[in-house]
Each structure stands twice: as structure tokens, then as C-alpha cells.
Amino acid sequence: MRASRLLSLLMLLQARGRASAPALAAELECSVRTVLRDIDQLSAAGVPVYAERGREGGFRLREGWSTQLTGLTDSESQALLLAGLPAAASELGLGAASASARLKVLASVPAALRDNAQKTAARLHIDPVDWYRAQEPPRFLREVAEAVWKQRPLLVRYDSWAGPRRRTLRPLGLVLKAGVWYVVALAEQASEPRTYRLSGIFELAFGKGRFAWPRKFVLADWWAASVRRFEREIFVGEAALRVSARGLRWVGEWSSAAAAAAEFTALPDPRDGWMRITIPIESEDHAIRQLLGLGVEAEVLAPTALRERLRAVVAQMAATYAS
């Protein structure tokens, strides 16, 4: 623990150039007295660290001196690519490793480029969570992550659309999309991977041994193809609408597919200046839920079945509020 803290202190001084004892203590989550003691240890070990007095003073390394102790540990190398996603790294149990890896990378960057790297980190923030959604890591996220890293099979009980199911999975990768964690895995005797939402797993145990990694599997490529296939297959029909300018804007907020379809098909209605558009729909039930949100800013023209179902729902709502 102490050796790790000494190394982190050395990396901080090399990355920042100068830092006060209170600032170092806050970064290392220890007392100022511990920082001063560690500074003495570094100096006794031959590290040229100096104290500068005054308002802008602090501790710094001798000009031009740098350490070569920048090798990454296993957990730091795993966390390195999550450096721009501190929340995701913390959920995976790699928060401290991510911070440590970042320090080591900064320490290895030439001084002329270090300021630009730190400026980018200070001015770019990535928030993968959707609006109005509390971010709660799934119960078994770290266990699934361990299984992915170490190629361990998992015995899970999963709440699928058809009800609870037991599965033996070979987890191939984790995906964080719009604040939701998924695991891409091969089920027992399956030839193609599938996507499982981690929040749907309510029982988990590690299986025996390790599984062989599929040679040609590339997570990023598989996920991109899976997303394209999902977006292509989820829409089972189309709906023709008349929409006001406000309704057109609201439809564009539903999804990128709805926005693109509305823009491509939009034609002015000569009667009142509204627009006629054709958009993809997932199902009648889903479409009705979305269309009700448009209120009086839209009218369904086709298909007739959807128009009639929406009319019946609106009539029922009117009766409810009239009583």
C-alpha cells in the first residue's frame, strides 16, 4: 500500500510539475503529515524532490528529471481505455486503477504535450447516461466483468421477455449503451452470440474452468452489426400522419429513424400549412403510446386500423375525464 502511494506521489509530481502538500494529500486521500513523510522517503531514495516556499510554492522535481517507473499493472491496463468514463470505471471496480493509469500515462508524456493532455481532460466530459435516468450499476456487473476478463462461464437465471430462464453463458464482452449495461454472450450450444441486459440477471454463479475464445469474434464489429439489425427489424410497419410544426419537431425527438423518415417524406398539406409525413412504427400499441403524446398536434391518416384504435382510446379518455 505504501509503495503504491509513493509511486502515485511521484507520478503526481512528475505530471503536475508543482503541487502543495494539502493538494497532494487530497489527491492521495491521506493526511498532510503522511505526504510530508512520503516526500522524505522519496528524497532519501535519491529522488530529486524540492520544496519551494511562498504563496505559489509546494513540492516539485528537479527540472528535466523524470522517472521511468511508468509500467501499468493488470487492472490499470484494463482501466486505461475507460479513462474518459470515470463512472463506468468505478462501476466495474476500476476507479482507483483508472486514476493511477492516467497519472502514469501523463508522466510518460513529454512535458510540452502534458499541458495539452491535461487541458483536454479538464474540458471534455463524457456522460453516457440518458436524461432523467438514475444510474444504478447492475447487481452482478463486477462478477460478469470478471467472467469476461478471465473467460469464465456463468450460470445465470435471467428474466427474459418470455419469463425467467436458466442459461449457461460464455460472456464475450460488456457494452454500456445510453447508461444501460449489456453482456454479449454465447449461450450453451449456441452458434451465435446474443445480447443480455445485466439488470435482467437475478441469479448468478461461476461455472467450472475457462472457455475458449471464438477466434473471429470482435466485440465492436459484432455490436455495430447487431445494432443495425435491431434497428432494421424492430419496425414492422409505417404510419402516415398530418402534423403541425410543433408535432413535426416532437416526432423528430422520438428516434433518429423517425426524424430521418419525417424529414425525407415531409410534404406540405395545402389546406392548413401542416405537413404530411410517413414514419416507421414498431407495433400498434407502441405507436398509440407515442401518438397520444402528440395530442392535437397530429392526426393519423393511415393505416385505418391504427387510426380507429387511436380514436377509440381518445374517446375512452374523453369519457373518463367527463365523469
Q: How far apart are CA 169 and CA 143, in angstroms?
A: 13
In percent, how much of the chain has pLDDT > 70? 77
At 6, is the pLDDT very low, low, confident or very high (cuts 50, 70, 90)? Answer: confident
Other beta carbons less than 10 A from residue 234's beta carbon:
14
Comparison of pLDDT for 109 and 170, the residue scoring more: 170
Q: How far apart are CA 263 and CA 286, in angstroms?
A: 21
State the pLDDT at residue 81: 47
Helix boundaries (H) for 30-187: 32-44, 74-80, 86-91, 95-108, 111-123, 141-150
Q: How far apart are CA 25 and CA 81, in angstroms?
A: 26
* pLDDT digit string, tens, across residues 175-226: 888 778 899 999 988 889 999 999 899 999 999 999 998 888 999 899 999 9
* pLDDT digit string, tens, across residues 283-321: 899 999 999 999 999 999 999 999 999 999 999 999 999
State the pLDDT at residue 79: 47
* pLDDT digit string, tens, across residues 106-149: 666 566 556 666 666 666 666 766 776 666 678 898 899 899 98
Is the Cβ–Cβ distance between 139 and 203 less than 8 Å? no
Enumerate residues 6+ apart whose C-beta is below 8 A from 86: 95, 98, 99
State the pLDDT at residue 243: 96
Pairing mode of beta strands 163-177, 18-19: unpaired
Other beta carbons less than 10 A from residue 279's beta carbon:
25
User: What are all long-range contacts of 112-121, with beta carbons under 8 Å and residues at least 24 apart?
Assistant: 114/15, 118/15
Model pTM greater than 0.85? no
Amino acid making up residue 108: S
pLDDT above 90: residue 88: no
Q: How far apart are CA 40 and CA 49, in angstroms?
A: 9
Q: How far apart are CA 271 and CA 257, in angstroms?
A: 27
